[in-house]
Structure 1
Amino acid sequence: MKKITLILSILLFTLSVKAQITKGNWMFGGDAIIQGYKFKNSEKFNYYAEIFPKAGYFVIDKLVIGSEIGIFINSATFYTSFVPFTRYYLLSPEKTINPFIEGGLGFKNIKDKQDIDPTLTEFMYQFKLGTSIFFTNSVGLNVTLNYKNNSFQFDQEISVAFGFQIHLEKK
């Protein structure tokens, strides 16, 4: 088993795939997040999972502008979010593993299911540091470290996300 893992690791790091991160291409995908959050004036962190579909368009090589939509449901809360973002890949499109930085500004609409608090809309901003691992020129796996700051209910959120993305080549 160790030999197979070593061979796959070497193969992954030595392959050269030209990813579709060039002007005129589209990016579609989504992230699954394991997230921790902390209420203001509290020392306790809570955890949950979310899914965020996203889409974007490469306006120049390595720079995509798009938006993500988030939906979260647990026993007490339902929320949706909308966050336009900008992502910049740091290496050339030929790299199989390509780190990126991403930032976005948006809104989160929170509804307490038990109607204890009224619906709340929060302004939020987020930053992501991550890398894409391209299996083909059109399919990649993303791993990101995320930081969000919200204006009302949650002070700060830190998360790790895993997701897939599909790049559609211009014709």
Structure 2
Amino acid sequence: MALKAIGALFEEAPAVDDGKACGIDRPVLLKGLPGGIKVEPAATIRCETALQLARWMEGSVKPSLEAAMPGEAITVLSQASAYVCRNRNGADEGRISEHAFGNAVDIAGFALKSGKTVTIRPADKEPTLEGAFQRAITEAACLYFTTVLDPGSDAAHQNHLHLDVKERRGGYRYCW
């Protein structure tokens, strides 16, 4: 109901059960965010993940873009990974990724109404407005998500932002 109320475009999807430790009881297929922003490709995730993504876009990404590039607007959010049954960082062994529960989405970039694209990349030292925009939205993501991994966090995240809503004891957040 909350996703409908904010104007997200989605479909309820059948439960995902891969017969392993992965799955989502009540997934949504997120196709768009408020303001007519397309999600490409559509993302199979939990409702809470979709809701936090929409809140982050409205509360931080759109205002940061307006400050960095006045008059621009996001038309497409490019996601690189949503639900997938795998271990963290695609490793052969180890802990299961939050993607395997629908708790995570990876953001590769944005298409803008001017036709320009903003691609997530290492920008921690970049002295441009686009670099400042990326740093601002990355820092703000930790207000909405419990895990934020950016291109500076490790080699597996050099071309995207990993955002997830994993619940942790005491409300702990991991923002790197």
Q: TM-score, normalised by structure 1?
A: 0.29
Task: Choose 1 or 2 for highest CA Rg.
Answer: 1
Normalized per residue, which structure has more strand?
Answer: 1
Q: TM-score, normalised by structure 2?
A: 0.29
Of structures 1 and 2, the one scoring higher in RCO (CA 8 A, sep 6+) is 1
Normalized per residue, which structure has more helix?
Answer: 2
